[in-house]
Structure 1
Amino acid sequence: QLGNDLAVDTLFSRAGIWLTAPGSIVDAFDSDETNIRAQSLNLLAGGSLGSAANFLDIGLGPRLESDTDDTGYLTAHAGTGAHLRSPSLPLILHQLDAGTEVRVIGGTDVVVEGTVDAPLDVDIAAGDDVRFDGGTISADTVRIAAGSDGRGNVVGSAADGTDIAAVTSAFLTAPDGVGTEAPVEVRAPRVDLQADTIDVTATPPDPAQTLAVNATGVGGGEASNVVLDLTSTTAVEVGTIYATTSTTTATTPLFTVFDGRLGDHAIVHTPTFDIRVDHHDRRFQPGFDVRAFTLSGLYDMVVTPESALIGAFIITQNPRKVVFSNPGGVADLRSRGRLNALEHQSKNDKSNRVARGAAENFATAAGDLVFVDPAVFECGKPGEPNACEDNN
């Protein structure tokens, strides 16, 4: 013991270990060797547990094959920061709170079984999975990174209730999935997600706050599938959503996608609109108020209770609802020859390129909305005044 601090070299027990210090409980040496090996561990420190420069290394679980309990759990309190690492064994966080911040590194799985709480930051990294099993992480900002060994998930809890409560923001990333087995439930005004598959339910701490969400693959690439259930009584703003397929349910009066990219399709449900945007498929799809397509795979949208503004070409729409498309400008009969290729878009790639160029280059106004005269797509036989022109 050094003053009020307890410096730990090596402690082993087949049962539990309880350590209490008026100051800090720290690693006696600057090394990655395990300081505490036990079935379970209880730590109480008036100062810190470990330090940012030298984590306290622990290993919890059975020591003999004859032990029937194959799990080890941690209960800990730190007056300041908690910096803990479990290099080789799964770590169950039964209860962990700190006066400033929590940093946890797991070589395999980290399981959130109870409350993990800090007023500033909670940062959890795992070699394999980070699993929620009825517990909750609460902090100003929360960062969870699973799968540092190349494979891993952030697994949602099967129990109802919030998994993450963040005052400012939450960031979750995993090479495989975020929200596997069950959706991860997040309460934060800003949520950033990066994984191959994503299934997340999110709402701000105050329902009247605007909810901001970004969802992509790891590193900002394209996820394979994204499922979002988002709620705010004011507005939901999706800054970026890059996914081969996505389904977003937004319970809000104002829903916005600023930067959308799809490989196959994107589906959006709001209280008053059901919208589907496809990359190439223009076949009839029942059950949607708006059907649109994007040749580039890029799209955006703004949806209110009264109207929907879609940054893609509209295929069909509910005639009882107000729907606009915004490639920019106004197209009417004066542009017939240029836009006639739209009739042939399903036939070949060249027609698609011509149609896209026509919409961009021959708009007769500079507004944000495009209105297409239905007569543009109606033409007669050769020799008639409104004969079709072949611009292919």
Structure 2
Amino acid sequence: MTEPFYLSAQWTNDFVVFSERKTWLDARDVCKSIDSVPQYNKWNLLNWYIKTKAIRNGWSGTDDVWLGMIKHQNSDVWNEERKYICQEVTMKISGQNQLERQCAVLNMSSVSPNDNLMIYASSCDKSIFGFVCLVAQGELPKGVEYYPFSEVEEKGDRRLKLNTSSDTECAISSFSIIYCFAATYFPEDKYCVAECTPMVNIPETVTLVNSSTNSTVLLRTFNKVLINYTESTLPPSTDQFPCPLESTAETSTVEIPTGGSTTSLQKLDSTSSLPELPDDTTTSMGQTTTSDDGTKTVTQIQDETTFTDLSKGTITQMSHCSTMEVYSGCLCTSQTGNIETNELNQKVLEIKKILTVNISSLSSTMRKKISAPDDRQSSLAMGTLGICVIVGVILALVVGDMVYIVSCVKYLFCCKRKHIHVQHL
């Protein structure tokens, strides 16, 4: 069975490449009409993936496309224009001119993922290009399909072994690394193997074959790169350019669905600048910034995964970062007051009881008593050599004395027979 090959990181998206040549604002309007935004990630690896997939689908390598990043006149500050906010980014790209309003362009003729000319600057209102729209599909493990009793025929250039307790955890741990295109989960031994490849080697498909062992293959279903050749019927854009340097902040109200209901949130209009958001809290996944009214949150997610590289026999800790916008649907007012000592102690005990775990049931404790399987040829060879050495040493010690032992046994047997013979006489 053959399945399509997809790469990405923690957030699953689809990318639609439009062939219609437009100014940056007009391209932005087309993306908004399909409930998406211009592809705003400056990440070279992701842009290389989009470029490679698009060219394989028939896109011309000479037709560059707009990205969702803008820099205003008399400024060197770039902003990623997302769905609800502008996120300032630090970068300096080819063709950047402080005296001109410019937008980012993806160079579709880039030669490698590390090409410094992959993104360049061009006039937002004087240049026309095709453009890429980012259609958000959610967060892992969404967008992952599971194939029981299967294995992947194409092995990765790097194979990472991760200790996971479920196929869902395997999907999140494996596919949060952009290089990994497939994973195999072994439920009996509670680990999975991620198949990863360099970005310069992006296959078209992944082949699955039946497996006699209890193993489940995990593949992505999102992060498609689609090409749209249709002409839009939208009129020229009348919007002002977003993410201005200075302006009066007017607010408008938008309705954002949250779990079947709608929540009213404040949204900056096209003439408003983004207010400075205090660094309010830190989570185990990274930094979260929240506005004073609690309605706007921008979360930078950082995952740390400890894995074993099966191809090199090394253990490594990898950090993966991605930035996404998240909107909180809870509009709560802060409540303060005094609390009695007894009540405080009781709450502490309740929290302690909730957080206390049985050490004997931890996976780390269980793994100390379990020998994990190792299918590498080098491990098999080393084990075989060790057995041969041990057996050889024992035989060398025993064989040297074997002649003496045999002669002693013969002597005792002969003496016993002679003694019996004398008694009979």
Q: How high is the TM-score relative to the length of structure 1? A: 0.19
The structure showing larger relative contact order (alpha-carbon pairs under 8 Å, at least 6 residues apart) is 2
**Higher helix residue share:** 2
Tell me which structure has the larger Cα radius of gyration.
Answer: 2
Higher strand share: 1
- Taking structure 2 as the reference length, the TM-score comes to 0.18
